[in-house]
Amino acid sequence: MPEFDLLIPKTLAEALEILARLGPDAAPIAGGTNVVVAMREGRLREKILVDVSRLAELGGIQQIDGEIRVGGGVTIAELLEEPLIARFGGPLREAAQEFANPLVRNRATVAGNLVDASPAADTAPPLLVLGAEVELEGEVGRRSVPLDRFLIGPNETARRPDELLLAVRWPLPLPDSATAYQKLALRKGTACSVISAAVMVEWNGSGQCRQARIALGAVAARPLRAYAAEEMLRGRGLSEAVIVEAGRLAAGAAEPIDDVRGSAGYRRRMADLLVRRLLSQTAGHADSQE
Choose which of 11, 63, 97, 190 interacts with ligand FAD (CB under 6 A): 190
- Give which of 5, 37, 11, 27 is closest to 157, Cα–Cα: 27
Q: Are 226 and 198 in contact (CB under 8 A)?
A: no
213 Cα distance to chain centroid: 14
Nearer to ligand FAD, 115 or 199 (CB): 115
Please list the alpha-helical segments (H only) found in the chain. Answer: 12-22, 35-40, 76-81, 83-88, 90-97, 102-107, 110-116, 124-130, 147-150, 227-233, 240-253, 264-283
58 makes contact with ligand FAD (CB under 6 A): yes
What is the Cα–Cα distance from 210 to 174, expressed in whole angstroms? 11
Contact segment (CB under 6 A) with ligand FAD among 30-38, 138-146, 250-258, 266-274 equals 30-38
Facing residues of 214 across strands?
A: 199
The single-letter DSSP state of residue 75 is: B
Choose which of 16, 18, 39, 52 interacts with ligand FAD (CB under 6 A): 52
125 makes contact with ligand FAD (CB under 6 A): no
77 makes contact with ligand FAD (CB under 6 A): no
From residue 147 to residue 186, the character string flagging contacts with ligand FAD as x (rule: CB under 6 A) and all else as - is ------------x----xx---------------------
71 makes contact with ligand FAD (CB under 6 A): no
Contact segment (CB under 6 A) with ligand FAD among 98-106, 228-236, 259-267, 280-288 equals 98-106
Contact segment (CB under 6 A) with ligand FAD among 26-34, 206-214, 228-236, 258-266 equals 26-34
What is the Cα–Cα distance from 58 to 70, expressed in whole angstroms? 8
Q: Three-class SS of residue 108?
A: coil
* Phi/psi-derived region of residue 14, left when phi > 0, alpha when psi is between -120 and 50, beta in every other case: alpha
Contact segment (CB under 6 A) with ligand FAD among 28-36, 62-70, 238-246, 262-270 equals 28-36
Q: Are 217 and 197 in contact (CB under 8 A)?
A: yes
116 makes contact with ligand FAD (CB under 6 A): yes
Nearer to ligand FAD, 29 or 201 (CB): 29
Range 255-284, binding ligand FAD (CB under 6 A): none
What is the Cα–Cα distance from 188 to 196, expressed in whole angstroms? 13
Nearer to ligand FAD, 140 or 241 (CB): 140
| Residue numbers at the binding site for ligand FAD (CB under 6 A) | 27-35, 37, 52, 58, 72, 99-100, 104, 107-109, 111-113, 115-116, 121-122, 159, 164-165, 190, 192
